[in-house]
Amino acid sequence: MNNHLDMLSLIPARSKKYMRTSIILLAGAFMVLGAVLLYVERGYAEQERNFTDNTNLLLVTVTHRESSDTPFESLTSADRDSIAQLVASSPDAQTGSTRAIVSNRYGLGGGVTLSSGDPYFIYGIDPEIGDLIGVPEMQAGHAYVISTNDAPSAGAHTLSIPVVSVEPDGYTSRDLAQYPIVLDASADPARVEYLIGNDASNVMFVSSETFKGLASSMFATDWNTVRTRWEAGELPMTPLVGSIYVYVGDIDDVRAIAATLEGDGYGTSYGLRAFDDVEASLRTSTILAGVTVLVTLGAAAALFVLSWRSYLALSSRDIGILKHWGISDGLIVSSYSKRLTRTCVIATVCGMAVVVVLAPFFLARSLAFTWGAVNIVTLAVVGVVLYQLIVQVAIKPSVGGEVLSLLRENREFQ
Amino acid sequence: MIGAQLKLADVTVQFGERRVLDAVAYTFESDAVYVVRGRSGSGKTTLLTVLAGYTTPDRGSVVAQGRVGYLMQEELLFSELTVLDNLRIRSIGTEQSDQKILDRNILGALATVGIADLIDAPVAKLSGGERRRVELAGVLLDQPDFLLLDEPTANLDRTSAAAVYSALWAVEADWTVILVTHEPDIPFVPAVATFLELADGQLEERAG
């Protein structure tokens, strides 16, 4: 059988030039397909990252309370406990790593300056939500500013804080308190700007505990007194508890938690609201990617099938002669399939080579290996499917023709 | 094969309105030579394709007891390959699978038709008569009981045609030959040959 196939392979091999063209066409198509797969995957990965890696999209900001009597009511420190209880009892915030974190966002302005002389507005947040400013591990006694070229030098600094006394006609300040801090210019500008919705250049973040120390220095009293006076409305110009952040662990839970809070009378805002539907968007991306790949694949398959049908039409006389000589259809199909196998293997390997070379450029390192391997397997499967397609729709029908028709067809074709 | 027989039983073949074979009934016996004549377009080739099983009759049947070898009018060789490669490929269809025996048979068949020295020559380099004899050698490899020959010397000069017929009659003693031709004079035709005339769809014996 093998000897017969070796002998028979002389026949398809006569059309070397034609087959070379066919191999080049298919190899080109596979290389394009490999590149398209990577391109589409990169686009998908980017979009997914935009949603899932953007920590700000995991944030629900509680800005005020609402009731039928008072449409806007400032938050108090008691609201934090209330919100924490609401979130804790929400089934959407209870499972494993998706636990939501609740934090006050304290604010303190009023002429606080760094030793360099620059004025800063101070925000205090719980270290657990440091991710939101790009600082996963906030430390007590440290102050975080955005990392820019003209940021103050990192290290030990002193904050000058006006010591405020509240008079019936307003605040007065005669003294400055010095508060030592360690400056760290590692906050992410984009995240900070998104978080505060404003220019981040004169903003400083500290941990909640450090903030309480700063506020105590400003009002020359302990934190509990500051908080009590603020909640009693005695510090009207101070946005002490500006907002309460709920940092949700899973993007799928953001809407549900926001709805829970709104149902209890809290006004919320969250970035995810800007996107109509994350799932719909990702689904659309998936469909587009699928269509792109399928169109490329369909074009490659159609081109290859047509190319082989033309080749077999040109070869019909050869096939007719072989059949006239009494060689079985099965053996003739095998001899052409052998040539087809070679073509498919060469083309598939070319496509795989493109994937191997380009994957590190198109995909992040964490994805390049896995998705590259998936693409290689995909190309191998496509190669096998194309092989079977050609055997079934081109080779077998061509070889199955009548001897006289095959001998005449060739003349008509030519 | 002793008692080999090729029988046409009321065979009718029709192309559109035209009836090429009209209820033809004839039996070709073994170890004989038949020369079928007829005008161009009278259906001689159709008669052979029916006998070879390549054309199915519209009516009637063909009964073949024995192996049929068919040398078509047009040349059926791979001209890019050598004589040996052509015949090796051709012998794939035979029952013999031992390559040494096959090569010996190929050489023997080529010697029979007088071109053993051309075994390694590319077919493209051969003359028309030599190519025809290569085909004839190929048919002989099949060891048919009936040898169907369709205008074997068409397009050949007289010398080449004579060489082909010379080779043919050298082997005819072993097989039944059914030769279709429009030529009035066939060189070296055996005296025992039966002459047939195909006209108006009918096949009838005629005097040589």
Q: What is the pLDDT of residues A3-13, one digit of tens each?
A: 666 777 777 66
Binned at pLDDT 50, 70 and 90, residue B208 comes out as low
A69 Rama class: left (phi>0) / alpha (psi -120 to 50) / beta:
alpha
Percentage of chain B beyond pLDDT 70 is 95
Closest-CA residue of chain B to A403: B54
Confidence grade of residue A178 (pLDDT, cut at 50, 70, 90): very high
Percent pLDDT > 90 in chain B is 44
- Option in A7, A14, A326 nearest B88 (CB): A7
> Above 80 in pLDDT, residue A154?
yes
Q: Tell whether the model's pLDDT for residue A40 goes beyond 60.
A: yes
Between CA B153 and CA B166 the distance in angstroms is 11
Q: What is the pLDDT of residue A411?
A: 46
- Report whether pLDDT(A99) > 70: no
Residues in B closer than 8 angstroms to A326, CB to CB, are 93-94, 142
* The pLDDT of residue B107: 92
**How do residues A384-397 score in pLDDT, each as one tens digit?**
999 999 999 889 99
Closest CA to A363 of A53, A34, A30, A39: A39
Q: Distance between CA A123 and CA A103 in Å, rounded?
A: 12
The region of weakest confidence among A281-285, B136-140, B182-186 is A281-285
Of A256 and A359, the one with more pLDDT: A359
Which chain A residues contact residue B94 at CB under 8 A? 326
Taking 60 as the threshold, does the pLDDT of residue A1 lie above it? no
B-proximal residues of A, 294-323, CB under 8 Å: 318, 320-322
Residue A48: pLDDT over 70: no
Q: Give the chain A residue whose CA is nearest to the CA of B70.
A: A324
When the pLDDT of each residue in chain B is averaged and rounded to a whole number, the result is 87
| Average of per-residue pLDDT across A275-291 | 70
- With cut-offs at 50, 70 and 90, classify the pLDDT of residue B46: very high
Structure token pair of residue B96: 């013999």
Q: Is the pLDDT assigned to residue B162 strictly greater than 90?
A: no
Residues 6+ apart with CB under 8 A from B118: B83, B110, B126, B130, B134
Q: Where are the domains of chain B?
A: 5-206
Structure tokens at B206: 């005629």
pLDDT band at A32 (very low <50, low <70, confident <90, very high): confident
The pLDDT value recorded for residue A413 is 39
Which residue, chain included where needed, has tokens 């035209």?
B18
pLDDT band at A357 (very low <50, low <70, confident <90, very high): very high
B99 with A3: Cβ contact below 8 A: yes
> Using alpha carbons only, what angle is made at residue A325 by residues A324 and A329, rounded to the nearest 5 degrees?
75
Which CATH number is B5-206's, of 2.70.98.40, 3.40.50.300, 3.10.310.70, 3.30.360.10? 3.40.50.300
Candidates B72, B89, B142; nearest CB to A10: B89
Tokens coding A151: 């940021």
Query: What pLDDT shows up at residue A322?
Result: 92
pLDDT over 80 (residue B94): no
Residues of chain B with Cβ-Cβ distance to A325 below 8 Å are 76, 89-90, 92-93, 138
CA A57 to chain CA centroid, nearest Å: 12
Chain B: give the shortest CA distance to residue A314, in Å. 14
For residue A412, the model assigns a pLDDT of 44
| Residue A108: partners with Cβ closer than 8 Å, 6 or more residues away | A121, A122, A123, A124, A211, A214, A215, A218, A238, A240
What is the arithmetic mean of pLDDT over A89-114? 70
**C-beta of residue A106 within 8 angstroms of C-beta of residue A208:** yes
Confidence at residue A391, expressed as pLDDT on a 0 to 100 scale: 94
pLDDT given at position B77: 93
Kindly report which listed range (A138-147, B153-162, B164-173, B194-203) carries the lowest average pLDDT score.
Answer: B164-173
Q: How confident is the model at residue B7 (pLDDT cuts 50, 70, 90)?
A: very high
Per-residue pLDDT, averaged over B139-157, amounts to 86
pTM of the model: 0.64
> Is A10 in contact with B55 (Cβ distance < 8 A)?
no
d(CA B30, CA B36): 16
Other beta carbons within 10 Å of A126: 20
Q: Do B78 and A14 touch (CB under 8 A)?
A: yes
Query: pLDDT: is A342 or A105 the higher one?
Result: A342
Residues 6+ apart with CB under 8 A from B74: A407
The predicted pLDDT at position A314 comes to 83
What is the model's pLDDT at position B180? 92
More confident residue, A54 or A207: A207
Q: Shortest CA distance to A324 belongs to which of B155, B77, B124?
A: B77
Average pLDDT over residues B75-81: 90
Looking only at the bridges linking them, the beta strands covering A101-108 and A121-125 are antiparallel
Chain B residue nearest residue A322, CA to CA = B90
Task: Return d(Cα B136, Cα B112) in angstroms, integer.
Answer: 10
How high is the mean pLDDT of chain A?
A: 82
Q: Which residue of A has its CA nearest to B53?
A: A403
Average pLDDT of span A137-151 = 86
Hey, what are A66's tokens? 């609402």
Percentage above 70 pLDDT, chain A:
87
Nearest-by-Cβ selection for A321 from B54, B76, B92: B76
B contact set with A (CB within 8 A): 49, 54-55, 70, 72, 74, 76-78, 80-81, 85, 88-90, 92-94, 99, 138, 142
